[in-house]
Amino acid sequence: MKKHFFFNHDSMREKTMLSRLPISQVAIASIAIAFALTTHAHAQSPKLKMTSEIPKEYTAPDSVETSIGTLDYFDGVPSPESVKNVYDYLDTSRAVNVYLNSIPALSVNALREGQAAMGADACNKICIWDSLMDSKTILLTGNTSTMYAVGFLDLLKDGPTVVDLPQGMLGILDDMAFQYMVDLGVAGPDKGKGGKYLVLPPGYKGDVPEGYFVVPSKTSGVWVFMRGYLDKSMPIAEAVPAASKNIRSTLKVYPLSTADAPPATEFINVSGKDMHVIVPNDYSAFEKLHGLMQTEPESYLGPEARGMMAAIGIEKGKPFAPDARMKKILTDAAAIGNAAARSISYFPRDPGNLTFKDSDAWVTAYADKDTTFTRNGAYRLEPRVLFHFGYICVSPAMAMTVAGKGSDYSMGMLDSEGKVLDGSKTYRLRIPPNPPAKDFWAITMYDTQTRSQLQTDQQFPTKGSQDKGIKTNADGSMDIYFSPKAPEGMEGNWLQTIPGKSWFIALRIYGPEQPWIDQTWRPGEIELVK
């Protein structure tokens, strides 16, 4: 039988020493000994009977300069230092890719953990913002204009689960990869009339009763996102509690196994409470990914994604125990991944993310209005990262712009000169006359660190058509100011900033009308007031 070996020597001491080393160190040590045993210089190979010319693109040079350092070879075999550098690079690059590709799953997991921390640790426990969402909630680009209610399904524990949606609510079910499952409400099969949705676990083979909108899931965890719109005919002080009452009195979530006597749905008011539901940007991200791998079916990831995770020590049914070297690499990879996500988010280079193709002043979350983040069947990697790093809720309905219906969004990330927004300075944004919003429009300010509402002295960092006291210019346009202190006489048009911090805004158009859709109306750019 043919034997395989790294090198040939008689020293049992060396063999014993190598056997005690990790595999990667054995390989490097073997190469080091091989190099040490080489006593002749690397001279040009002699021409022998079978020698032929081999193009240089098929061979390795003695030495080559690269971004990871100088790589040295003896006749195509890398030196020990080169091997170490290459393995460090491979492990780091794989870990960075795992981090970036896992931001969607990490985001859903953060929602699950954050909701559970507030007490919503079962399918029948719902977090609701009874007084609307304010900046105490650290949640990706939440708004202050609609009432949120969120839950989480654990199909592994509860089996098939029922979401009984009331009339007058909108919602989305997304799985643990933040992939779209179904719309609830007007955009869903109930057409806004409400109804019972039955969510089935992965691979479910049991009986399915009639009378439900059936939704199979690829993952055991399912995020339930719901919105209750405020009655526009009511004053805001009446519309908010009315929306809360409607949700609390009619929404029901329970395991199908309890359908004959379902447990009461509990509501936890999280308005004004510290709640953190965003992606970590350190080594803990990989620990959380390992936890996810244990609770979710392997089938929700493709073989390449599973292989990439296995390469850095994340496997189903196995402990996650990186050694000191690998832990350092994973910590570095999380930092690089975080920097990459922020670079992509604040300076996107895919033109599909530009709201207006002739300007980078306004950015859209869904590149080219595509919620699958694909083109010709291939993932658009950077638009996918951009969305999931800064936003939540994946649904085709959120990218369909129909005149007078739904909503549309655009983000202002930089000033009119392409510079980062500085919280110590004063800026102005001009809203031209007749904003094309059938329902209303709003501008909300966000923190560039957390991508959540900016925490200032203003509880709701939003200005828009629902606010009283906004001054208009003679031509019907409006100026919104962003600065640490309000310009004199413009308090109603002012959003507070913080010296030493940056910020960005989202412009929301509810019921976008044709001038917005065909871009004959567009907002100004954020201008520095000098």
Same domain, 31 and 136: no
Q: How confident is the model at residue 16, as a pLDDT?
A: 35
Q: What is the CATH number of the domain that holds 172?
A: 2.60.40.1610
In a domain, 365, yes or no: no
End-to-end CA distance of the chain: 82
Same domain, 73 and 199: no
Of 392, 448, 449, which is closest to residue 106 (Cα–Cα)?
Answer: 392
Same domain, 457 and 521: yes
In a domain, 223, yes or no: yes
- In a 13 Å sphere around the CA of 258, the CA atoms on its Cβ side amount to 16
Same domain, 16 and 149: no
In a domain, 298, yes or no: no
Please report the beta strands in 413-522, taking only residues with DSSP state E, as ranges in sequence order. Answer: 427-431, 437-446, 462-464, 478-483, 494-496, 504-512
Q: Which helix (H) or strand (E) holds 214?
A: strand 213-216
What is the tally of structural domains in the chain? 3
Q: How confident is the model at residue 5, as a pLDDT?
A: 30
Same domain, 97 and 240: no
Same domain, 77 and 199: no
Please report the beta strands in 382-483, taking only residues with DSSP state E, as ranges in sequence order. Answer: 407-412, 427-431, 437-446, 462-464, 478-483
Of 356, 217, 393, which is closest to residue 297 (Cα–Cα)?
Answer: 217
In a domain, 49, yes or no: no
- Residue pair 159/257 in contact (Cβ under 8 Å)? The answer is yes
| SS3 call for 433 | coil
In a domain, 22, yes or no: yes
Question: What is the pTM assigned to this prediction?
Answer: 0.90
Same domain, 181 and 252: yes
In a domain, 284, yes or no: no
From 244, 276, 308, the end of a domain falls on: 276
Q: How confident is the model at residue 28, as a pLDDT?
A: 53
Q: What is the CATH number of the domain that holds 480?
A: 2.60.120.600
For the chain, the maximum distance between any two Cα atoms, rounded to a whole number of angstroms, is 96
From 228, 259, 276, the end of a domain falls on: 276
* Tens digits of pLDDT across the chain (530 residues): 433 333 333 333 343 333 334 545 555 555 555 555 443 444 467 889 999 999 999 999 999 999 999 999 999 999 999 999 999 999 999 999 999 999 999 999 999 999 999 999 999 999 999 999 999 999 999 999 999 999 999 999 999 999 999 988 999 999 999 999 999 999 999 999 999 999 999 999 999 999 999 999 999 999 999 998 888 889 889 999 999 999 999 999 999 999 999 999 999 999 999 999 999 999 999 999 999 999 999 888 999 999 999 999 999 999 999 999 999 999 999 999 999 999 999 999 999 999 999 999 999 999 999 999 999 999 999 999 999 999 999 999 888 888 988 889 999 999 999 999 999 999 999 999 999 999 999 999 999 999 999 999 999 999 999 998 999 999 999 999 999 999 999 999 999 999 999 999 999 999 999 999 999 999 999 999 98
Same domain, 130 and 212: yes
Same domain, 513 and 408: yes
From 213, 245, 276, the end of a domain falls on: 276
Same domain, 175 and 210: yes
Instruction: Please report the DSSP string for 49-118 in residue order.
Output: TT-----GGGS--SEEEETTEEEEEETTEEPHHHHHHHHHHHHHHHHHHHHHHTHHHHHHHHHHHHHHHT
In a domain, 26, yes or no: yes
Q: What does the block give as tokens for 460?
A: 């709701």
Q: How confident is the model at residue 337, as a pLDDT?
A: 99
In a domain, 243, yes or no: yes
Q: How confident is the model at residue 30, as a pLDDT?
A: 56
Same domain, 88 and 122: no
Domain extent at residue 456: 401-528
Residue 455, C-beta contacts closer than 8 angstroms, at least 6 positions apart? 135, 136, 447
Beta-sheet strand order (sheet of 63-66) = 63-66, 69-74, 77-78
Q: How confident is the model at residue 401, as a pLDDT?
A: 84
Same domain, 250 and 123: yes
Measure the CA–CA gap between 335 and 449, rounded to whole angstroms: 14
